[in-house]
Structure 1
């Protein structure tokens, strides 16, 4: 199994040691093996744009892609065939570099079994893309929701900070693990402590023995995401070296 570490978007602080030549994405991809595309949530990208992004990264690089808000926030998972088909067609431009598709729900969207069943049926009718879902209403962390997600082969995101204690741990389908670290104590801003990153490394080392494992840092406002991601990679490399001795 594989661990993918990255950030939400590929911007990075100028004072860090990145190559000076090439596009921002190409430079980012010299230090990270994955990225989460968040701009797709706000606006569509042409298939050729995704193709260009894929071509600018090395073999083995992967893109997670956030599902458009038209599906999650405007239609609230109802009657989504048309925007879903368009989104999937566009992101096919990534080819085999397309990783998980991220469905992030609005905090106000409660779990209701029948609409969720209908949405999951629609989602899987459009293909078998690896998918993760980040619910943000406490009602989603119940056994029925977990069963529906597992049945549809959709992993539930482990988020930090967590809206309820269960949200901090992976759920749903166990074939994929996806952690999103938004920053604590201040969301999108705060850097993580060395102790928190060491704990994350230990968790990822264990989890990657059972499934492909992702950890995306979303504390991007002041550049902490890049620093935290690089620090986590170094911890994982150090532990791998120790294990080989």
Structure 2
């Protein structure tokens, strides 16, 4: 009887990048010399987080242009508009959510994840969250990462509800609430947003700190999670150098 061999399953994706794709001049030598900032950025990193969608809508043709500017393997994470997450606090959002999804679908296969960042004042309320996620899941089957910033989101009930909807809870640094030291919700996604510590948005990470993040990401990937790590410490230009350093550390694994 002929033996049957099975190819090993590829490991889950591990994507490193930054919020936006601005390239500080001191980092230019690490990137291709030709092309737009996005094309040069995508020559090195495998993802970028679009944060500007939180503040204002972008036309589908803009998303389409961004998608067409990047290689096949590249993926975008797109933040939901503040009208949905902050102004309406996830309730009565059918129209703005449909409008947003109609815009971002122009990214085509480059749309990799949606980011739902909540207001610090927004407490967990199961019925509202369940209704919102049911609405979202009827229209969008892909990866979703949710970044809560109120202590009530880090208990068992919120964790279980997010898991039931296949939504990963973001690990955000600096950690502000007990229970936020690791990703939560659905275990198929580990989404890290590194805002800089100790000074949020400004501080860079030490060599030892980046090594710690690399160890965590390897662990989450080994446990079967698709991993996204976004540096949002952009205010003083640390995001790109930190992402390059972390990517170099992970390339050795």
Q: TM-score range, shorter-chain basis?
A: over 0.9
Corresponding residue of 2:134: 121
TM-score (norm 2): 0.92
Structure 1 segments unaligned to the other structure (5+ residues): 240-245
The question of whether the paired residues in 2 share the 8 Å contact of 1:176 and 1:212 is answered with yes
TM-score (norm 1): 0.95
How far apart are residue 203 of structure 1 and its match? 1.1
Structure 2 segments unaligned to the other structure (5+ residues): 1-11
Worse-superposed segment, 12-21 or 93-102: 12-21
Corresponding residue of 2:169: 156
The question of whether the paired residues in 2 share the 8 Å contact of 1:38 and 1:65 is answered with yes
Q: Tell whether 2:18 aligns with 1:3.
A: no
How far apart are residue 23 of structure 1 and its match? 0.8
> In the alignment, which of 68, 73, 78 is matched to residue 55 of structure 1?
68
How far apart are residue 122 of structure 1 and its match? 1.5
Cα deviation code 1:165-206 (max 9, x no counterpart): 311210001111100000000000000011110011111112
Corresponding residue of 2:244: 230
Distance 2:43 2:161 in 1: 38
Corresponding residue of 1:242: none
May I ask how many residue pairs the two structures share in their alignment?
A: 239
| Pairs within 5 Å for 1:64-213 | 64-209=77-222, 210-213=224-227
Q: CA RMSD in A?
A: 1.0
The question of whether the paired residues in 2 share the 8 Å contact of 1:161 and 1:168 is answered with no
Runs of 4+ in 1 over 4 A off after TM superposition: none
Distance 1:201 1:175 in 2: 18
Distance 2:85 2:232 in 1: 19
Q: Tell whether 2:228 aligns with 1:217.
A: no
Larger Rg: 2
Q: Tell whether 2:27 aligns with 1:13.
A: no
